[in-house]
Chains A and B, each alone.
Chain A
Amino acid sequence: MTRKIVAAVLLVCLLVVGFRATGPVPPLGPFLDPANGVWGGAAATSFPVIQQLSIDGVQAPVKVLFDDRGVPHIFAASEDDAYRALGYVEARDRLFQMEAQTRAAAGRLSEWAGPRLLDTDRENRSLGLVWGAEKKFASYDKSSPGFKAISAYADGVNFYIAHMRPRDMPVEYRLLNARPIKWQPIYSIYFLSRMSLTLGFNDATVRRLKAQSFVGRAAADALFPVNSPIQQPIQPSGTSEPRFDFAALPDPGKPDSSTVAVARAREAMLNTFAFRKPTETADAIGSNNWAVSAKRTSAGHALLAGDPHLDLSLPSVWYEMHIVVPGRLDVAGVGFPGVPGVVIGFNRDVAWTFTNTGSDVNDYYEETVDDTAHPSRYRLDGQWKQIEKRAEKYFDASGRLLATDTVLFTHRGPLRRELGRWLSMRWTVYDQSHEPDNFMRLGYAKNVSEWLAGMRDYVVPTQNGLVADRSGNIAIRSSGKFPIRPGDGRGDVIRDGSVSASDWVGQLPVEKYPFSLNPAQGFLASANQQPVDPRVNASYMGSDWYSPWRAMRINQLLRADSAMTPDKMRRFQTDPGSARADVFVPFFLASAAHADSVGRSDAALRSAASLLAKWDRRYVRDNRGAVLFEAAMTELATRTWDELRDPKKKPSPGDRLNYPEAQVLVELMRAPTSAWWDDRATPEREDRDAIVSASLRAAYEGVLKTNGAPTTDGWLWSTTRRANINHLLRIPAFSALDIPVQGGPSTLSPSSGAGTQGASWRMVVELGPEVHAWATYPGGQSGAPASVRYKDRLRSWTNGMLDQVLFPKTPGELDHKRVISTLTINPR
């Protein structure tokens, strides 16, 4: 009898845990099922060698050959068929990632994770991204190639979802106990809006306002200037560069308490977006691209290189593809899973890549509302205007309503209450645009001019588009909508929302965009620096630009070599040299020598100076000098910018995010007795040499204490800086962590402190009679963590190597030994 009772109770328990999730544990039945569950998914990580299927809407057979790098070569009779096939294969490889990104952009993560992510969803929607994307989608020209492509792509994705076997379900869905949702064409627009948040959300205002609250307006303006004090612009100015446009920094002024609330409000707004919250200084992040004209290359063909840097993730943010529509389109490169087409890549005639411009395209307005608690109207030019209200509903996984918010909008954009003030935001991402069409057009370009024409009406996020063609031409243009503001034209201030005179008055004409075609120097480069010399074009495009260390280094390398090769370009992408170190090391050494000469030196300072003097300024993995230099730079910034911290609080690592760019520190170096050098915590008045030498000494003692003697492994660069590539769900078992990498702050492949930023794609293209390309990215084509193609490119990426990209004109031209799978998609 007991046996039967035990069996009955156990059966009930097994059926419960079999059918239902228990806490974080998914339903065990479908999970453990070796035929249809997670184990069966292991079999689904590899493709059948030959596969045939029929998809609704396909007009003619499509052949998709997967090469041994996992890249699909799609041969189709029309673009429509090609994008339908692309939707299918991207869903097969990256379905979970596509949906995760869409949910993040659409503020629907709580439908997976419940109340835990409700706040994130609320903030996402209150920023107006969904509102903007829906407006954009509704007004999208339905007959445009871009719209047709996202529709065909959605069909392909949905065909895959509808016909996937249970075992094909990505493991993440099983862990979340979720099922894929039907793909809508608007999801591609959601994703692009999210990229605009990543790349086109300028936070210069908040740093300047915070500084203003401590040291007044004049000092804050100088610390976070509109124009870089070191000029190495993207558009060569024709004069000797870099140019050091140094001015005397005004002394710290009186705190400006009027900005405290606004600064905090802005900061609060930024901080609510965990993924937008800055965690790295500009020295640790950044993208590069450069091109060399035919006359400066060894083979006499133009060369182009690009390495856009983004948050690193597994699966990778990119998916590599090759799309051929005979007689019309033959384009290869990478695009975003979830958005059809190649964003960065090449065709038979041109190659292109982007870096982020980082221009100021979002502004804030302080609004006057009729009711500070529950406003329904806002004041504009003496009249009350109705506030647009939008109900946002949030559900959990079971469909239960978690919350309903009313999001408010003025004619400018979302209206939010921050610390008692009502701020509305104007942002180019809310404006009508059609990026899918822009990106698609690039694939058809036959030369540089056609490529530039394809980007003429591009809007957001602003990008430095670099292009080279087979005729040896090279060009670069910073493209996108650059708003023109009234008055002084600056966007890094909070404007009065009660008058329409505060609104944008237009946008910069394309002819005024930073641009260069075939410059006399024979090369072009961009690395997120200020795009144009203000002496050439004084239009306001932004402020607080990244220090141009990487740009200086690229220019230095390219200027020194008039016989460039693809392999040299590849090596430059992970070049360990640092213009920043070249500038700062002499200051440290001079201050140590000065301390010696006035009898203020000691053994620690002398040892530190000796080590630094021997340092070759290269951030290679086995280097032992970089650790000391970086510690000294951190000390220097902390000691110099003490005026920008709350004196009642102890310095914290996060403070560095509020300090000015290192180029401003160089500017200050010219004033050895400036009041900025004084350490407020001491009764004495320090000067430059005292602070610089004290920083070096403290750095040496600190590294000695934490890392051991200079001869130990603790001083190896590889022990301190590592890449950490997290899975989208931050599951360590699906991530690639602790990877020693070459490069440091401000090198061409900057490695950040957290190691979560880096080159998301590296590409070199040679535009000869035949186009040759080499590329890699940190990850692999498959989104399945157990797949051999999940992170198979990580090794080449870590070592700065590139794989040759296969670029066959026909299916028959692809070496059959390198084909791992053939998929034929027939009309249904």
Chain B
Amino acid sequence: MKKNIVTPIAGALLALIFLVILFLFQVRQTEVAVVTTFGEFTRSIMKPGLNVRWPWPVQKIYKMDNRLRNFERKFEQTTTSDGKNIMMTVFIAWKIADPKVYLQRFRDDENQVEQALESVVRDAKNGVLGQYSFGDLISTNRAKVKLPQVEMDMLGMMQKVASAEYGITIELAGINRIGLPESITTKVFDRMTSERQRLIRQFESEGRAEATRIRAEANREKEKLLAEAQAESTQIRGAAEAEAAKHYAVFEKEPELAKLLFDIKALKHATRDRTTLVLDQQTPPFNRLNAKAQMAAPAKK
């Protein structure tokens, strides 16, 4: 082969790259690293950046994801302290706190971590829920609802095991899903329907009752007004009667005449129509038509 200037340069470059790969390594923003020398733990690197190392087999670098990871598993049925059932899922967000311990415990196998975490999370969730009654979780009295405290208790329990034994820290823990066993939801629906029905009946009957009351009151007022009016009218008539009495005194001067005059008047009015008279000769003035009576002089008194 011909001697080329390019080849040595390329070779040198390659060699340089080779050396760089061997002796330097990066820790990315999202990673932490553990450096072991001949298998023994040397140091953990928590900050991102460029670092120097000895190549394998002298030193081995383990890189692990130090971002906050989400974890949630089962929607599980459990008992509260007063023997009632509730179903809950708890989510956590965790990250590596002590890379050395984490590596030892799990060899960076996320599956293993999640299996271990699942037991811890479920134990904490069910254990803490067993300490609180159903009314502490769901209550119309806002002061009694202790959901944040439940979450904090769970977090505390989990964090104790996690940081002491696993080398991880749990930053968030919260309830992600809440529910009741299926058979109980049916009963809750029945209760809800009854509750609504109760309100419906209450409102409807309240409406009716109030309407009836209002109408009754109005009727009473109306009756009262009418009665008052009647009474007043009667009173006015009475007053008129009193005034009429004055005039009656006049009639007392000659009561017979008064009676006669009134009789006559009445007679005239009554016989004004639809009257049939059956008379005979004895009735004056027809008695005048009687021959005998014609002769007779007006005598009697």
The answer to whether A binds B is no
